[in-house]
Structure 1
Amino acid sequence: MKSSDAESHRLRDFAKEKVTFKQALLVAVAAGLGYGFDAYAVNIYSLVLPAIKDTLHVSLSALGTIGSIFLVGYTIGTIGFGIAADRWGRKDTLGVSILVYGASTALGGLTTNVPVFTALRFLTGVGGAGELAVGAPYTAEMWPARHRAVGTGGIIFSLYSAGYILAAGTALLVVPRWGWQWAFILAIVPSLALFLIRRRLRESTRYTVAKLEAKAKGNKRAKVSIWRVPGAKKRIVIGWLIYTANAVGYWGMTVFLTTFMVQKFHVSAAGAIKYAMLFYVVQFLFCYVGTWLADALGRKPSAILGAVIMMGATALGATATGLSSYLVFGGLSIAMLGWLWGVGDTYIAELFPTSLRGTGFGIAVGGGRVVSIAAPFVVGWAISVYGPTVPYLAFTGLWVLTIIGYLMGPETARKELEEISIDVAGGTASTQLVRKETLES
């Protein structure tokens, strides 16, 4: 009895500790920078494919297979790191994620053995996936309700956009002088720096309280399966719909982005990379447009508006006959990916209870990524058979899934996570205390 009382006092004392704006911002930036370097590790591969092909003496088909194996790792990592975040904590799991993908990317630059390189790309996918799978739930738990979309999806995905810009800049400046290997090897430097920075982060108050509650109740809450939580299956399906569109759209539209410009508009390879960098600068800004609207008007209105704009931009970009019109509409379609991912990252993280937030997010997003594994292969095949316009145009209808997903789900804007989340075994006064006492700014 005394032990139970002591746990209750400890729980309430911890819950009363407010999360400061500085702490919340540090978590968002640390998670976002990790996701940005994940973007670097992901995209540097596609940007230097010709150089890798010459060094490893493999065909483009084999490199496409390596890319798909990377996406298999990305899918496994999304689900695995989400589950791990619920078991071992947001802070520590995020630290492991960056070490895995930083080390595997760097080692990839030191080998000329194709099977070893392939295995390292798989590990890069596993580790890199943890950046979003852990970072989005972690950040969502730290930010106040009225700014949660900007703090979570806005900051995190905008830094992903910045990571692509860094990768493209490296491909233009570093690779021609020192080779593609150094573009991979240098990834270890920011990874180690971010790992050390993350050691100073504060663990999520909500997560810590949930763990203490589980301990005080004899760990019953921790044993709850997400598949037995009322309403969880529907919310996972919502995530699958939203992230099938997001993931298939992203990989299908960006892996062959420069190829599209080279083949259809006869732009040089270097020129195509420069235009792609410009697109991602606009995407960086649109992450904040979409998430600001999500905080101001609601997740559902912002996402549905974004999906409608995306359908129009995709159709006009795919059918553009001149480079100037393509730069407007094609650039808008790439920018809208930032809008839709930023809102989606926030929304899916909000749908699940704290004790299962990482698991729910990982399964929901990972399910969408399962379908995306085939996207680079299918789009590459379609380009070779039908040319660049038809597969690009086919993505117009993809965003109907986004609209359906958001229409199925609840509105979450300006609500505390405890109001949104499915109730697991009742909830307690201490959980409600966290809701009231967490960051107010």
Structure 2
Amino acid sequence: MTSTTTGDDERLTSDAPAIDVSIQQPTRPLRTTATSDLSEQIPLRDSLLVAVTAGLGYGFDAYAVNIYGLVLPLIAVSFAVDLTTLGFIGSIFLVGYMVGTIGFGIAADRWGRKDTLGVSILLYGATTSLGGLTANIPLFAALRFLTGVGGAGELAVGAPYTCEMFPPRYRAIGVGGIMFSLFSFGYILAGLAALYIAPRFGWQWTFIIAIVPAIGVFAMRRLVQESVRYAIQKADEKIRAAQQLEQSLSPGSPDRIWRIPVVRKRIGIGWLLYTANAAGYWGLSVFLTTFMVKKFGVSPATAIGYAISFYVAQFFFSYLGTGLSDWRGRRPAGMAGAVLMIATTIVATTVSSLGLFLVFGALMMALLGWLWGVGDTYISELFPTRIRGTGFGLAVGGGRFAAIFAPLLVGAGITAFGPTIPFLASAGLWLLTIIGYLLGPETSRKSIEQIEAEFEAQSKN
């Protein structure tokens, strides 16, 4: 097959076919027009199974991510290294997170959602467990990098996968509610492991046991079906391989994707949202217990207990925020969450009473569930099926780049200025969220097919 590449790669030309899941030959079931809703033909059981499987994978990713910070003092003693070295390893992990977000997003478009999600689960489970078995600090750092690569795939693949399986009236509940609430659940498990397993059996066992749930979730993957939209899209590509749309939107080709103005704009919106989400999350969560210990003089174990209660609140707020976004719209819900986050962060970080902090600190951490849940759903909806994984990966991965520096800056700020100022400064991040939603289109209560038709129309302008 031969093809030509012209300046028309800069955009989708007017004679390019619409980005939809239909072709003229009625040779397969589950056919739909460009604006009808394919998800209405997917059984709710299948949709829920995908969301729960992806959410459990994301939850145990949260365990693998957060257990490191929760047992950090024990790791420092075991390896006889200082916290600066361990902070550097934490940043290496976040580099892996960025690489995995982009890489697994591209892989999901090229090889499918279901299989790519399975590879991600096994990778982070195996490398977390191996980290508990090594006594070599460079090898431990390398394993944390690989854990980041694998763990990042849970969101990069799971969010687009779930997005494609849910109808518009409760798509945010599926993507942001079910998935992110289980992420919060993963932190709760990590906190319990740090409180009850690490003191009795050593921090190593909190890492080693991570392989068990990973194998369980990988086995669950056999029960779920591949994304119907993705399967139809791949079949259609074989028929349309010689057409110009294939040239403009080749799956897994970020260079070609970047040439399309509407894609560049939507990736930029994702960068704004996820710079706030990722940098805000890591800046706050990594040092949350440290903040309580230094400012209020509580014991580390007590601080972990308080943090667990905050994540219980986050579990429920992920449903509150996403439910509101399904009802009133992604943009209003996202901007409302950002305004509330700014206000609660300012209050939580400046109060001198532990009791008041426990109230407003819980709201601050709970609103992260609101903002992540709405943001994950929204970014998943911004891109058409054939590039949804790649677009999502580039958008979220760019935001996660900023997150690499968040723990370093907050940690240095706590050392230089005390705990209040660095946490207070993080409130400004959520202005980026407001700007991002102001620039983006509304996607709530629209079928994926309708959103894709609007994308295709914008790409012609």
Is TM > 0.5 for Structure 1 vs Structure 2?
Answer: yes
In 2: Cα distance, 1:424 partner to 1:218 partner:
20
Among 405, 416, 420, the residue aligned to 2:436? 405
Residue pair 1:242, 1:405 contacting (<8 A) in 2 also: yes
Q: Which amino acid aligns with 2:85?
A: A
Task: Give the Å deviation of 1:199.
Answer: 1.9
Looking at structure 1, the residues matched to 217 and 103 of structure 2 have their Cα atoms a distance apart, in angstroms, of 21
Q: Aligned match of 1:285 in 309, 316, 319?
A: 316
Residue identity in the other structure for 1:312: A
Is the alpha carbon distance of 1:410 and 1:423 closer, same or farther for their aligned partners in structure 2, counting shifts above 3 Å? closer
Distance (whole Å) between structure 2 residues aligned to residue 336 and residue 148 of structure 1 = 19
The amino acid of 2:343's aligned partner reads G
- 3-state SS in 1 of match to 2:135: coil
Aligned to 1:44: 67
Q: Aligned equivalents of 1:350 and 1:388: distance in 2? A: 37
**SS state at 1:234 partner:** helix
Match in the other structure for 2:291: 260
- Note the 1:81-100 alignment, pairs <5 A: 81-100=104-123
The alignment partner of 2:164 has SS state of helix
* Residue 186, structure 1, aligned to residue 212, structure 2: no
Structure 2 residue aligned with 1:436: none
Residues 1:117 and 1:236: Cα distance change in structure 2 (over 3 Å): same
Verify the 8 A CA contact 1:230 1:422 in the aligned structure 2. Answer: no
Name the counterpart of 1:269: 300
**Partner in structure 2 of residue 80 of structure 1:** 103
CA distance in 1, matches of 2:415, 2:242: 56
Q: Can you list the C-alpha shifts for 1:174-223, whole angstroms capped at 9, x where unaligned?
A: 11111111110101011111111102211111111111111111265454
Contact 1:101 1:124 in 2 (8 A): yes
Deviation at 1:425, TM superposition (A): 7.5
Distance of 1:406 and 1:301 partners within structure 2: 8
Contact 1:11/1:209 (8 A) holds in 2: no
Structure 2 distance, partners of 1:407, 1:209, is 33
Q: In the aligned structure 2, how far is the partner of 1:395 from the partner of 1:230?
A: 31
Contact 1:137 1:361 in 2 (8 A): yes
User: 222-231 or 122-131, which moves further after superposition?
Assistant: 222-231
Distance in 2, matches of 1:249 and 1:39, equals 16
Q: Which residue of 1 aligns with 2:161?
A: 138
From 390, 405, 420, give the equivalent of 1:374: 405
The amino acid of 2:179's aligned partner reads I
Distance (Å, rounded) in 2 between the aligned partners of 1:24 and 1:109: 35
- Give the root-mean-square deviation of aligned CA atoms: 1.6
Contact 2:262 2:455 in 1 (8 A): no
SS for the counterpart of 1:321 is coil
Q: Secondary structure at the match of 1:421?
A: helix
Q: Which portions of structure 1, spanning 4 or more consecutive aligned residues, are displaced by more than 4 angstroms?
A: 7-11, 219-223, 422-426
- Point out the more displaced range, 328-337 or 127-136: 328-337
Match of 2:270 in 1: 239
Q: Residue 180 of structure 2: which of 157, 177, 193 is its match?
A: 157
Contact 2:240–2:246 at 8 Å: present in 1 too? no
TM-score, normalized by length of structure 1? 0.93
Residue 314 in structure 1 maps to residue 330 in structure 2: no
Structure 1 distance, partners of 2:451, 2:291, is 42
- Matched with 2:150 is 127
In structure 2, runs of 5+ residues without a counterpart are: 1-22, 33-37, 250-255
Q: Deviations over 1:84-121 (max 9, x none)?
A: 00000000000000010000000000000011100000
Rounded to whole Å, the distance in 2 between the matches of 1:294 and 1:424 is 20
CA distances 1:12-36 after superposition (whole Å, capped 9, x unpaired): 4243793100000000000000000
Equivalent positions of 1:416-427 (< 5 A) are 416-421=447-452
How far does the alpha carbon of each residue in 1:333-364 deviate from its partner, in whole angstroms, 9 at most, with x for none?
Answer: 10000000000000000000000000000000
Structure 1 residue aligned with 2:20: none
Contact kept in structure 2, 1:229 and 1:424, CA below 8 Å: no
Q: CA deviation at 1:10?
A: 6.5
Q: State the aligned residue count.
A: 421
TM-score (norm 2): 0.89
DSSP 3-state at the match of 1:202: coil
Which residue identity is paired with 1:410?
A: P
Q: Deviations over 1:46-75 (max 9, x none)?
A: 000011111111111000000000000000
Structure 1 residues without counterparts, runs of 5 or longer: 1-6, 427-441
Query: Within 2, Cα distance between the matches of 1:71 and 1:151?
Result: 26
Aligned 8 A contact 1:248 1:375 in 2: yes
Q: Structure 1 residues 301, 423: closer, same or farther in 2, change over 3 A?
A: closer
Q: In 1, Cα distance between the equivalents of 2:76 and 2:242?
A: 52
Distance in 1 between residues matched to 2:44 and 2:268, nearest whole Å: 33
CA–CA separation in structure 1 for the residues paired with 2:397 and 2:317: 24
Q: Does 1:328 align with 2:344?
A: no
Q: Does 1:389 align with 2:412?
A: no
Structure 1 segment 50-69 matched on structure 2, within 5 A: 50-69=73-92
Check whether the contact 1:35–1:131 (CA below 8 A) recurs between aligned residues.
Answer: yes
* 2:29 corresponds to: 13
Correspondences of 1:166-177 after superposition (within 5 Å): 166-177=189-200
> How high is the sequence identity, in percent, across the aligned residues?
62
State the one-letter code of the partner of 1:332: L
Answer yes or no: is the 8 Å Cα contact 1:235–1:409 preserved in 2. Answer: yes
